[in-house]
Amino acid sequence: MTGKTIIVSNRLPVKIQEKDGGYNSSPSEGGLATGLGSIYQEGENVWIGWPGTEIAPDKEEEITAQLASLSLLPVFLSQEEISEYYEGFSNEVLWPIFHYYASTYSTYRQSNWQFYQQVNQKFADAVLNVAKPGDTIWVHDYQLLLVPALIRKQLPDVSIGFFLHIPFPSFELFHLIPWRNELLEGLLGADLIGFHTFDDVQHFTHACARLLHVNLSSNVISLPDRLIVAEAFPMGIDEQKYASLAKSETVKQEIENLNATLNGVRAILSVDRLDYSKGILQRLQAFEELLKNNPEYLEKVVLYMIVVPSRDTVPQYKHLRDEIDKRVGNINSLFRTLNWSPVQYFYRSFPIETLSALYATADVALVTPMRDGMNLVSKEYVASRINNDGVLILSEMAGSSRELIDAIIVNPNDMGMMAAAIKQALEMPAEEQESRMVKLRKNVSKFNVKHWVKIFMDRLSEVKEQQQSLHTR
Ligand code: GDG
């Protein structure tokens, strides 16, 4: 690939915090940051995104200089832009619809849409300020659906890839959005459009055919002047990081402490960001059903439930948090004994070492989203099981269920099925655990995040070459 690579995502891969009247930044541990870390720090490459917090205008210059040394280029957003583009349009229109939460009460505010366009233009301008013909631009996720076409307008020959981290919904859902055509046209500015699963690819190409009447042959869309390829690239994780963490001295100590606390009680683990798409309430209901119908598990099993605070300025998320509090309280008050509580609930985020210790200790991981683009937690649990034991229960609505087929696969709407799966997991013989886990671990290690970045980038070069050969014919 000639030229530099520009990564664009809503958030930069750093956390910026206010400290002593100034700001400091620390690297974030997200999967995307790990996967792309090796790319954006090379040569002239750069990562463009929002620093994740409102920055006082008189501090922008200082932050820009600080981030430049890390190959990061900030796009600053005002409070109004954050509220309309990010909370309003991205998280109250696109996120619910793309996760199949369409409500007849949904409001589609024109001002949200205007800000979404305006902020997408702001991101595109930031790219155009540094991009040159011959560069490769990789745009990420649902907050920036319009960016590819905005860049294409100014740099018609540049190489643009786009990756959607959340599901692409079926036509029936997608066409509810008043600005559906504009969103598709925005995406079609890219040369290669990546999704986690083949279903997402089909939903997207189908929407393009129905709404824009494009010429479609399998996963290739032909516009009068260009070919666009839509393809599945299931995202992986840095599996070695989780395996090494599980072997590290700090984590080993945490595992020992956890085991001492558990004292023979079996542990089920649940880890998510606070989000209705993650099926947290339904999971609690299934656990309650298990305890109700199997009293032999009382005092013998505990559910560690970690919910990481997220989007708590959006009303539905606040409501969900209250509902989780209530349901955890109900289960604990119904079943607890003087020396045992069935649900250990934490509404906060933990250092990665503690997370790793929980992954390595839990007999069962219960990953049951109602809808999830991929779900990295399911892969991180597998990567942490260095002794080839433990059982993964995985929702068929998670993208990762297409690859992790040796998990116990469940429908998250079926409480009976989920309760039975927990029972099956708790009683699974060691040999069966091992034979399933070995296969799961092979998959997670073969299709890791480095592989994901490589096949996406290689495919983008191929598509570009194909386009150029069409033009020169
Ligand atoms: C979106 C899509 C897709 C969680 N708790 C703690 C913690 N985490 C980390 C996990 C994991 C990440 O957060 C969550 O990733 P997921 O993939 O499970 O979910 P989303 O945040 O919704 O991500 C999803 C993903 O994008 C990538 O394309 O898979 O479908 O929705 O990495 O480890 N990390 C730390 N402490 C915690 O307490 N340090």
| DSSP conformational letter for 320 | H
For ligand 1, the distance from its centroid to the CA atom of residue 272, given in whole angstroms, is: 7
Which residue puts its alpha carbon closest to atom 26 of ligand 1? Answer: 165
Query: Which residue's alpha carbon is at the smallest distance from atom 34 of ligand 1?
Result: 352
Report the nearest atom of ligand 1 relative to the CA of 378: 18
* Nearest CA residue ID for atom 4, ligand 1: 272
Q: Which atom of ligand 1 is nearest to the CA of 376?
A: 17
Distance separating alpha carbons of residues 412 and 397, to the nearest angstrom: 8
Residue corresponding to tokens 């090379």: 42
Ligand 1, atom 1: closest residue by C-alpha? 165
CA 87 to chain centre: 17
Instruction: Reduce the DSSP state of residue 157 to 3 states and report it.
Output: coil
Strands of the 301-308 sheet, one edge to the other: 343-347, 301-308, 266-273, 364-367, 391-395, 408-410
What per-residue confidence (pLDDT) applies to 24? 80
Pocket of ligand 1 (CB under 6 A): 29, 31, 165-166, 235, 271, 273, 306, 308, 349-350, 352, 355, 372-377, 380
What percentage of the chain carries pLDDT values higher than 70?
98
445 contact partners, CB below 8 Å, separation of at least 6 = 239, 383
Q: Is 175 annotated in the active site?
A: no
- Give dist(CA 5, CA 40) in Å, integer: 7
- Residue 398 alpha carbon, nearest atom of ligand 1: 30
**Residues 305-321: b if buried by 16+ CB within 10 A, e if exposed:** bbbeeebeebebbeebb
Contact between residue 375 and residue 235 where contact means Cβ atoms under 8 Å apart:
no
What ipTM was assigned to the predicted interfaces of this complex?
0.99
Distance (angstroms) between ligand 1 centre and the Cα of 380 equals 10
**Crossing angle (nearest 10°) for helices 376-384 and 352-361:** 70
Q: List, for residues 183-217, the tens digit of each pLDDT value.
A: 999 999 999 999 999 999 999 999 999 999 999 99
CA of 402 to the centre of ligand 1 (A): 18
In the prediction, which pLDDT does 311 show? Answer: 81
Ligand 1, closest atom to CA 163?
A: 28
**Cβ proximity of 208 and 221 under 8 Å:** yes
With the most atoms of ligand 1 within 8 angstroms of its CB, the residue from 273, 397, 404 to mutate is 273
164-175 per-position pLDDT tens digit: 999 999 999 999
Q: Are the C-beta atoms of residues 160 and 131 closer than 8 Å to each other? A: no
DSSP alpha helices (H): ranges in 84-238? 95-98, 110-130, 147-154, 171-174, 180-187, 198-212
pLDDT averaged per 10 residues, the chain (length 473): 89 85 75 77 92 88 92 95 95 94 83 98 98 96 98 97 98 96 98 98 98 95 94 96 96 97 97 95 98 97 96 85 97 97 96 96 98 97 98 98 98 97 98 98 96 96 88 66
| Cα–Cα distance measured from residue 27 to residue 34, given in angstroms and rounded to the nearest whole number | 10
Q: Out of 140, 165, 196, 203, pick the active-site residue.
A: 165
How many contiguous H segments (helices) and E segments (strands) does the chain have?
18, 17
Q: How far is the CA of 375 from the centre of ligand 1 (A)?
A: 7
Q: Which residue has the tokens 């699974």?
A: 428
* 165 annotated active-site: yes
Query: What's the CA-to-centroid distance between 30 and ligand 1, angstroms?
Result: 7
Q: Are 161 and 191 in contact (CB under 8 A)?
A: yes
Q: Which is it for the CA torsion 16, 135, 120, 176, positive or negative? A: negative
- Extended beta strands in 184-335, E state: 192-195, 215-217, 220-222, 227-232, 266-273, 301-308
Distance 374 CA to ligand 1 centre (A): 10
